[in-house]
C-alpha cells in the first residue's frame, strides 16, 4: 500500500502530549509525521515508516528537533486600543487594581481608547501584537471582545479578531459584553445586562461573530445573578459559555458556570474545594493565568493540588490584555506556571496544548499530535521539551507548520 502525503516530517522527536502514549510528554523519539490535506495521517518511529510513500510536496528534515502540537493560547484580550502603562505606575505607587477600576480607570480606560480607534487601526495594532505569539509557536488563539461595551464597538472588536485568521492562525472569538459596566449605564447594571442579553447576544449570534460567551463575575464587575442572565441568553442562541471567576474573591462563579456546562472557568485564585468539585463534575477546564497573578502581585495562588486531586484539566493562557497581563509571550507563561504555581514543565506544556484545546472545545481537532487531528505543529530547536518552560527570554528557533484557516 502506498502512503499518500503532502508533507513528511522526518528525524523528529515528537512530544505528542497524547495521554495514550505511556511516556513523559507522550514522547516518540526518532519519529516522523505524515500530513495530507492539513491533517496528520501517519505518526510513528522513523524505523516504522512505510516503504512506499507518495509525496506531492516536500520533506522537512527536523534534524533531531522537537515537534510539539502548535501552542494554544485559550484566553486573551488581544484586541484593544492604547495601553495602561500609567496605571501600572499608579499600582506601583500603591493604588490597587480594584481601586483604579472603581475610579473609572482600568477596563473603562481601555474601552475609551478602543471605541476611539477605527477598525483598520485596531486590526493593525492587534496584528502587530499577534506576531510575538506566532514567533513563539502559537497556532491557535482565543480572542475576546469586552472593550467596546456598546454594539458597534463589540462588533468591531470581533470582526478584527476574525480577520486575524488572515495572519495564518486559528482564531476562536468570544463575546465578553459582561466585562465591565460602561459609563453610560453607571448605576444601572440591570439595564446594561438587558442590553447584553436582548440586543448584543442576538445580534452577535446572527452575525456569527462569536464562538462562545464569557463574563466577569466579581464584586468590581457583575454578580452571579447577572451572569446567570447572560448565560441563559447565550444558551438560547446555542453559544457555549465560560467565565472569569474567583479572580479577586470567591463569588461562586465557577459553580454557576458548571450549572451551564461551561467550557472553562478562568483565573480561579479564590476557588474553594466545592467549586473545584463542581467543575470536575461538569467536565470543565480550569484556565490558569499566571501572568495576571504576577502583574497584579497577587499572593493567593489557585489551588492546583485540588485541581489535580479532582482531575480538573489545567490549561494555561497569557490573558494578554493592557491591564492585568500586558504579556505577549506564551513561553514566559509556561515558566511562570512552573515557578509561581508549581506546575511541572510537562503540565505546563500540556496546559498550552492539550488542555488549552479542551478549554476551547477543540480537543478532538487540535492539542495533541495524533492521527486524524489537524497538523498544527511547532518545531523547536531544543534538546528537551522542558526547555520550553525553562528559558526566560527569547529561545527563538521555532518553526510553525499550520494549514488550517479556521476551525472545522
Ligand atoms: O482577565 N478580569 C477581567 N478581565 C481581564 C482584565 C482586563 C483589564 O484589566 O483590562 C483579565 O484579567
Ligand atoms: Fe481575562
Report the C-alpha gap between 168 and 324 in whole angstroms: 27
Please give the Cα distance from 74 to 265 (Å, whole number): 11
Q: Considering only CA atoms, give the Rg of the chain.
A: 21
Query: Residues of the chain with pLDDT > 70: what percent?
Result: 98
Q: Report yes or no: 162 and 169 within 8 Å, Cβ to Cβ.
A: no
Ligand nearest the Cα atom of residue 295: 1
Which whole number is the average pLDDT over 328-343? 97
pLDDT bracket for residue 400 (50, 70, 90): confident
Q: Is 267 left (phi over 0), alpha (psi -120 to 50) or beta?
A: left
Does any ligand 1 atom lie closer than 6 A to the CB of residue 320?
no
Long-range pairs for 203-210: beta carbons < 8 A, 24 or more residues apart: 203/151, 203/155, 204/154, 204/155, 204/158, 204/175, 205/237, 205/238, 205/239, 207/155, 207/158, 209/155, 209/158, 209/159, 209/162, 209/173, 209/175, 210/145, 210/158, 210/173, 210/174, 210/175, 210/239
pLDDT band at 176 (very low <50, low <70, confident <90, very high): very high
Q: Over range 352-368, report the average pLDDT.
A: 98
Question: Which is the closest atom of ligand 1 to the Cα of 101?
Answer: 9
Q: Say yes or no to pLDDT of 37 above 70.
A: yes
Q: Which of 124, 126, 167, 121 is nearest to 322 (CA)?
A: 126
Three-state DSSP class for residue 360: coil
What spatial distance separates the first Cα and last Cα of the chain, rounded to whole Å? Answer: 29
* pLDDT at residue 65, rounded to an integer: 94
Residue 167 or residue 322, greater confidence: 322
Give the Å distance between the CA of 348 and the centre of ligand 2. 19
3-state secondary structure of 393: coil
Nearest atom in ligand 1 to 292's CA: 12
Instruction: For residues 230 and 232, give the distance between their C-alpha atoms in angstroms, rounded to a whole number.
Output: 5
Average the pLDDT over each of 95-109, 129-143, 256-270 and give the range with the smallest value.
95-109
Which has the minimum average pLDDT: 105-109, 149-153, 304-308?
Answer: 105-109
pLDDT at 22 over 50: yes
Confidence of residue 368 (pLDDT cuts 50, 70, 90): very high
Mean pLDDT of 31-59: 92
> Residue 167 has what pLDDT?
84
pLDDT given at position 147:
98
CA atoms within 13 A on the CB side of 51: 0
Mean pLDDT of 143-151: 98
Give the model's pLDDT for residue 55: 79
Q: How confident is the model at residue 165 (pLDDT cuts 50, 70, 90)?
A: very high
Does residue 244's CB lie within 6 angstroms of at least one atom of ligand 1? Answer: yes
Q: For residues 224 and 191, give the distance between their C-alpha atoms in angstroms, rounded to a whole number.
A: 16
CA distance 78 to 308: 29
Please list, residue by residue across 322-361, b when 16 or more beta carbons sit within 10 angstroms of its beta carbon and e when fewer do. bbbbbbbbbbbbbbbbbebbebebbbbbbbbbbbbbbbbb
**pTM of this prediction?**
0.97
Is 319 near ligand 1, meaning CB less than 6 Å away?
Answer: yes
Q: Tell me 221's DSSP state.
A: S
Ligand 1 atom 5: residue of nearest CA: 324
The C-alpha atoms of residue 189 and residue 223 are separated, in whole angstroms, by 10
Average pLDDT on 89-102 reads 92
Q: Which of 159, 164, 236 lies closest to 196, judged by CA?
A: 236
Q: What is the mean pLDDT of the chain?
A: 95
- Residue 75 CB less than 6 A away from ligand 1: no
What is the model's pLDDT at position 4? 93
Instruction: For residue 247, report the distance from its CA to the centre of ligand 1, in Å.
Output: 10
Mean pLDDT of the region 333-346: 98
Residue 233 has what pLDDT? 98
Mean pLDDT, rounded, for 271-292: 98
322 C-beta closer than 6 A to ligand 1:
yes
Helix, coil or strand: residue 289: coil
Mean pLDDT of 81-106: 93
205-230 residue pLDDT tens: 999 999 999 999 999 999 999 999 99
Domains of the chain: 3-69+370-402 (2.30.40.10), 71-359 (3.20.20.140)
pLDDT above 50: residue 406: no
Residue 408 has pLDDT above 50, yes or no: no
Ligand 1: which atom is nearest the Cα of residue 110?
Answer: 10
The pLDDT assigned to 279 comes to: 98
CA distance 368 to 71: 10
Of 288, 320, 321, the residue with max ligand 1 atoms within 8 A of its CB, to mutate for a pocket test, comes to: 321
Q: Is pLDDT at 407 greater than 70 in this prediction? A: no
State the distance from the centre of ligand 2 to the C-alpha of 370, rounded, in angstroms. 30
| Average of per-residue pLDDT across 233-252 | 98
Amino acid at each position: 500500500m502506498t502512503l499518500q502525503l503532502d508533507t513528511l516530517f522526518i528525524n523528529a522527536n515528537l512530544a505528542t502530549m497524547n495521554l495514550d502514549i505511556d511516556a513523559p510528554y507522550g514522547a516518540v523519539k526518532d519519529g516522523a509525521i505524515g500530513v495530507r490535506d492539513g491533517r496528520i495521517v501517519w505518526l510513528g518511529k522513523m524505523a516504522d515508516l512505510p516503504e512506499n510513500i507518495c509525496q506531492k510536496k516536500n520533506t522537512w528534515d527536523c534534524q533531531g528537533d522537537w515537534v510539539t502540537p502548535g501552542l494554544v493560547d485559550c484566553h486573551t484580550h488581544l484586541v484593544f486600543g492604547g495601553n495602561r502603562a500609567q496605571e501600572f505606575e499608579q499600582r506601583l505607587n500603591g493604588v490597587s487594581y480594584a481601586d483604579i477600576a472603581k475610579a473609572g480607570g482600568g477596563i473603562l480606560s481601555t474601552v475609551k481608547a478602543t471605541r476611539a480607534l477605527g477598525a483598520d487601526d485596531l486590526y493593525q495594532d492587534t496584528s502587530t501584537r499577534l506576531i510575538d505569539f506566532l514567533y513563539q509557536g502559537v497556532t491557535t488563539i482565543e480572542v475576546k471582545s469586552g472593550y467596546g461595551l456598546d454594539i458597534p464597538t463589540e462588533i468591531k472588536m470581533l470582526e478584527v479578531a476574525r480577520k486575524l485568521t488572515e495572519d495564518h492562525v486559528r482564531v476562536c472569538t468570544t463575546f465578553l459584553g459582561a466585562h465591565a459596566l460602561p459609563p453610560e449605564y453607571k448605576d444601572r447594571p440591570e439595564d446594561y445586562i438587558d442590553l447584553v442579553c436582548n440586543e448584543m447576544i442576538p445580534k452577535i449570534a446572527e452575525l456569527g461573530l462569536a464562538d462562545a460567551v464569557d463574563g466577569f463575575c466579581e464584586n468590581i464587575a457583575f454578580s452571579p445573578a447577572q451572569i446567570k442572565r447572560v448565560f441563559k441568553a447565550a444558551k438560547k442562541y446555542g453559544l457555549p459559555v465560560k467565565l472569569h471567576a474567583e479572580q479577586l474573591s470567591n463569588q461562586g462563579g465557577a459553580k454557576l458556570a458548571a450549572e451551564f456546562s461551561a467550557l472553562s472557568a478562568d483565573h480561579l485564585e479564590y476557588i474553594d474545594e466545592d467549586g473545584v468539585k463542581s467543575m470536575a463534575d461538569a467536565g470543565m477546564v480550569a484556565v490558569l493565568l499566571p501572568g495576571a497573578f504576577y502583574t497584579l502581585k497577587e499572593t493567593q495562588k489557585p489551588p492546583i493540588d485540588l485541581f489535580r486531586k479532582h482531575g480538573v484539566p489545567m490549561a494555561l493562557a497569557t490573558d494578554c490584555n493592557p491591564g492585568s497581563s500586558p504579556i505577549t509571550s506564551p513561553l514566559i507563561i509556561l515558566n511562570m506556571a512552573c515557578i509561581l504555581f508549581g506546575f511541572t514543565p510537562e503540565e505546563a506544556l500540556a496546559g498550552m496544548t492539550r488542555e488549552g484545546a479542551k478549554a476551547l472545545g477543540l480537543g478532538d481537532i487540535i492539542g495533541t499530535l495524533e492521527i486524524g487531528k489537524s497538523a498544527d505543529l511547532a518545531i523547536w530547536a531544543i534538546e528537551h521539551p522542558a526547555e520550553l518552560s525553562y528559558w526566560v527570554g527569547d529561545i527563538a528557533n521555532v518553526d510553525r507548520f499550520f494549514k488550517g484557516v479556521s476551525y472545522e
